[in-house]
Structure 1
Amino acid sequence: MGQLDGTQASTRMVRLHQRIPSLRLLRRARRMLDDAIDLARLRLDALPDGIYQPVPGLPVRKAKRAVGSQSRWAAMEPVIERLGVKSAMDIGANVGYFPIKLASRGIPAVALESDPRHVRTTTTAVRRNQLDNVAVMKLELRPDTLGLLPTTDCTLLLSLWHHLVRDQGLDTATHLLRELWARTGKVMFFDSGEDEMPEWFGLPRMLPTPDVWLREYLQENCAGGRIEHLGRHRAFDAAGLPTDRALFAVIREPQ
């Protein structure tokens, strides 16, 4: 009986080894098919204007907001290093430029995005960059979805606040800002559309200047935060024309 069991086990092992090359070929074919589908979908999702951010590893033409994304990262990176950031969340991550830059520094990041096209592009970019420390979350930021968000050292709220005001009103946008700050352990990076946005966005008048108004707004609504102005950076208005916006770091003061 023991010899028979041994023979059966040996036969199973031989069959398993015979199947391994076929399994490897199947996995390789699956990866190639997945890559082809991802690239076809990426090119469709990038129509008609390409992608917004210069994400590494994506075979698409120059990103519309390459200069502004790169200059913002250059301004934020020293703050991130200085504060010893260990985790991050990008609200409205678009196609994932900032989460991928953070993850490439060894900082696990959440990319929160509501547009399915951008979610697909971010997922493709994460895979092509061979990163295992980026979580891509398809979710619209609203009061009823706030409870799903984690607490992280760093929050990015870039070029989104004016959309929150337009879609949900100033009071709700302010509530969301306060709640995001409450989930931020060390620093929040913030910029927004300013006076260049049309009236139908419903933004308040930013007097005496957008830089001053936004600094005071952040100081009022981010309790325990110290505001650093990180310069003005290239952006685009609602008509797609170039402009620039103030970038702020809201740094949590030690208790």
Structure 2
Amino acid sequence: MRRARRLLDDGIDLVRLRLDTLPEGLYQPVPGLPVRKARRAVGSGSRWAAMEPVIERLGVRSAVDIGANVGYFPIMLAARGIPAVALESDPRHVRTTTTAVRRNRLDNVAVMDLRLRPDTLGLLPSTDCTLVLSLWHHLVREQGLDTATQLLRELWARTGKVMLFDTGENEMPESYGLPDMVPTPDAWLREYLEKNCAGARIEHLGRHRAFDADGLPTDRALFAVIREPS
């Protein structure tokens, strides 16, 4: 009976997965899912390759991914034995992440269906590592620069060792309301992170493949915001 129920659940999950990933496919190359197409496979893989040595060097033991999409980074962390929270608000991505966690037989990933706002921030755990990847520009567009900055500061306050950060840059349209990142996005973002993440040392982890608002390929700077010992 238990085996029959598991097979039925697996079948329903696969049907829902097919529906939720049409027509674009997956955004990230999540292991364990029978979906071939992943639009951000190259960028996800290169980001992880750049972040993993930092995570290992700093001895990270817990993590939260804010805007986890379909759960690639929490699953990669969990596979290394690092418990992780995947925070996501899109119902399709929440379902896909939950399915991926189950299919990878992981018991150290929590999937949290929640939109990050000032009134929900207090529900988040404090962890060694916070991932804020391809999210900040959406916060600026939806909640304004001042609120996005305050959320970043609060996330940093909950981060014990390192925040991993990237965002849309000058390629994003004016409707996002982003500041003009001059003289270069790399320099502007480094200064912004230094200003708003007190006691941090910033490491530039290269530029990685991403997509602009029209789906055209671009690249973005990735930063490790490291908490210096007090």
TM-score (normalised: structure 1): 0.90
Task: Name the amino acid aligned to 1:223.
Answer: A
Please name the residue that 2:133 is paired with.
158
SS at match of 2:46: helix
Deviation at residue 62 of structure 1 after TM alignment: 2.1
Q: Alpha-carbon deviation of 1:117?
A: 0.2
Q: String of CA shifts for 1:86-139, please: whole Å, max 9, x gaps.
A: 000000000000000000000000000000000000000000000000000000
Decide which structure has greater helix share.
1
Give the Cα separation in 2 of the matches to 1:62 and 1:101. Answer: 18
- Hey, what's the Cα distance between the residues in 2 that align with 1:86 and 1:61? 31
Q: Are 1:230 and 2:205 matched, yes or no?
A: yes
Q: How does 1:7-86 map to 2 (within 5 A)?
A: 26-86=1-61
In structure 2, the partner of 1:130 is 105
For residues 69 and 28 of structure 1, the distance between their equivalents in structure 2, rounded to whole angstroms, comes to 35
Q: Supply the distance in 2 between the matched residues of 1:133 and 1:186 (Cα, whole angstroms).
A: 20
What one-letter code is carried by the residue in structure 1 that aligns with 2:16?
Answer: R
Task: State the identity as a percent.
Answer: 86
How many residues get paired? 230
Equivalent position amino acid for 2:111 in 1: V
Task: Give the match for residue 88 of structure 2.
Answer: 113
- Cα distance in structure 2, aligned partners of 1:213 and 1:48: 36
**Cross-structure match for 1:12:** none
Letter in 2 for 1:218: L
Counterpart amino acid of 1:145? T
Residue identity in the other structure for 1:166: R
Superposed CA offset, 1:9-42 (max 9, x none): xxxxxxxxxxxxxxxxx11111010000000000
Q: Which runs of 4+ in 1 moved over 4 A?
A: none
C-alpha RMSD over aligned residues: 0.3
Q: Which has the higher relative contact order, 1 or 2, with Cα contacts under 8 A spaced 6 or more apart? A: 2
Shift of 1:61: 1.8
Unaligned 5+ segments in structure 2 are none
- Helix, strand or coil: the match of 2:64? strand
Aligned partner (choices 156, 167, 174) of residue 142 of structure 2: 167
Matches within 5 A, 1:202-213: 202-213=177-188
TM-score, normalised via structure 2 length: 1.00
Query: Which ranges in structure 1 are unaligned for 5 or more consecutive residues?
Result: 1-25
Amino acid at match of 1:101: M
Q: Aligned match of 1:219 in 190, 194, 204? A: 194
Query: Partners of 1:246 and 1:58 in 2: how far apart?
Result: 28
Secondary structure of 2:69 counterpart: coil
**Equivalent AA in structure 2 for residue 192 of structure 1:** T
Cα distance, 1:183 vs structure 2: 0.2
